[in-house]
Amino acid sequence: MEKSNTCHFVSPYKILIFLLFFVSLLSFQTAFTQALPAKYLLVFKDKNNSPYSITQPLAYLSERSVARRQKQKIAFTTRDLPVNPSYIEEVKKKGAKVIYTSRWMNAALIECSSTVLTSILQLSFVKGLEVNTSIDNPNNRTARKSSKFESYETNALNYGLSKTQIEMIGADKMHEQGFHGEGMMIAVLDAGFNNANNIAALKPLFDENRIVGTYDFVKKEKAVYEDDGHGTSVLSCMGAYLDGQIVGTAYKSSFLLLRTEDAFSEYLIEEANWLFGAEYADSVGVDLINSSLGYSTFDDASTSHKYSDLNGKTTIAAKAATWAASVGIVCVISAGNEGNDAWRYISTPADADSIITVGAVNALKSYAIFSSIGPSADGRVKPDLVALGQSSAIATPSGTVTTSTGTSFSSPILCGMVAGFWQANPTLTAMEVIDRLRKSGSQYENPDERLGYGIPDFTRANTPTVVLSTQNESNALFKAYPNPTSGEITIQLNETKVNQYFTSLMDITGKTLLYQPINSQIFKLSLVHLNRGTYFLRIGNESKSTLVKVLKVE
């Protein structure tokens, strides 16, 4: 049968109807997409007419937070004040949902449509957006199929698994001297702490009520134990105690567990969550923050960072870490695992100033090839220090004690030692702690882009490095005599107001043998129980001190 050559005529009227319908459909889809709410980081111009005051910080900070600043003589500023509540109310009236606010950035994370955003940006007290786009756009979300944190687990290991990582930085000596993190509080900003409340290695933390709080900034809830398990392993590097299997570097510290990271995506909102988490940690009164998180590229490529952005001043996360440091918190941040990738460099907030950025070495104390390198974009030494990050001992959410690899673990291993060091030296400021640890680094005199100042050591950091005073210096705080002594030594303080001063006695390794407040201008110390040798006697307060070498003879 032959095919027909007949052509069927289509009416121009029908074509016009179809085109109109198609255009209308596209317009509807565009309007619907534009109407979807997205999240934006809104910045305000000022904190004028605030109901809060820098003279009454307890209205928005905990007693512990206030005490930390007072101890380090850090003044309260307008940056510490909460966002003006009246500004928040006006933003809500425009139709936006306010999710979180930031004291330090004077900002609010809001969710609204583009139409509502336009209206909000016209408010007289609004400065603009911190990032000129949505930081978590539902129109551009492509969920990852698996967690961004890869597992490097090997076989279950035997007794003493954490021995190498502890001894490498001198944390074993720290423990021998009685410093395990008692009284120190560490905030852990991570992706979740799956099953941390049920595994044996972390049981003492819960039995002794040393988990001081939890919060999930991704879901806006207190529960953190049902999400990603990366934070569980990170926490174990500091807080685990399972005799014969794994011991954390600060296993007697208290911990604040904060989920700021969505492990199944990478968007700028996670940097904003980091900001909110750091502020929350400040308000609770933590001493240290450990964060094994880093940001460089995002699922929305248009928001990805360039290396030039990593100058400590540009990204949301770096600003947050710097602000945390400015209020007396020691931030310990992983450098990143891009050392053998195209990116190579540290991620943010590891580029922040006044923090400890931690790279990784292997058990032979050599550079681990995955560890991200420095310097920062503005030429500062990064990483600052390194610790064991290749085959580090961890506990998993299943309760297994095993090994894993990454700066995610070298950071908390070191953070725990920092906590113990600060416990041993309570009069130091946060910046003095960082300085002492950098100077204890194995290559402090010759830092490089891979290991920074090198592997720190508790004993080296804890050994006094200040110039010793002599007995006849006019500016010395005290005199100690007789020196040398065979037993008792008399201390004469050259100050009349003595209640602000302390005395401490250390051996030549830096071990603190005595630490006590001073109650009188002249007092005696007995050295009878000490072996013959050299000791260091320090008298001081939070702002000044004098160190004298004391010789004990038979």
**Count of domains forming the chain:** 3
Number of other residues whose CB lies within 10 A of the CB of residue 185:
21
pLDDT of residue 153: 44
If you average pLDDT over every residue of the chain, what do you get?
A: 87
Mean pLDDT of 108-122: 96
Residues 452 and 526 grouped into a single domain: no
330 - beta bridge partners?
288
Active-site positions read 190, 230, 408
pLDDT of residue 114: 93
Q: What is the per-residue pLDDT across 295-305, written as a single tens digit (0 to 9) for each? A: 999 999 999 99
- Has residue 53 been placed in a domain? no
What is this structure's pTM? Answer: 0.79
DSSP assigned state of 287 = S
Q: What is the per-residue pLDDT across 422-446, written as a single tens digit (0 to 9) for each? A: 999 998 999 999 999 999 999 999 9
What's 383's domain CATH number? 3.40.50.200
pLDDT of residue 533: 80
pLDDT of residue 505: 86
What is the residue range of 505's domain? Answer: 478-552
pLDDT band at 537 (very low <50, low <70, confident <90, very high): confident
Confirm if 284 and 212 have CB atoms less than 8 A apart: yes
Which domain-ending residue is among 438, 462, 486?
462
Percentage with pLDDT > 70 across the chain: 86
Residues 394 and 512 grouped into a single domain: no
pLDDT at residue 152 is higher than 50: no
What's 486's domain CATH number? 2.60.40.3080
Q: Give residue 454's region: left, alpha or beta (phi > 0; psi -120 to 50).
A: left
pLDDT of residue 11: 53
Coil, helix or strand at residue 530: coil
pLDDT band at 546 (very low <50, low <70, confident <90, very high): confident
Separation of first and last alpha carbons in the chain: 125
Residues 232 and 197 grouped into a single domain: yes
- Has residue 26 been placed in a domain? no
Q: What is the per-residue pLDDT across 189-217, written as a single tens digit (0 to 9) for each? A: 999 999 999 999 999 999 999 999 999 99
pLDDT at residue 512 is higher than 90: no
pLDDT of residue 497: 76
| CB contact burial 488-526 (16+ within 10 A = b; e otherwise) | ebebebeeeebeebbbbbbbeebbbeeeeebeeeeeebe
pLDDT at residue 495 is higher than 60: yes
Lowest-pLDDT range, 152-156, 242-246, 263-267? 152-156
Number of residues in the chain: 554
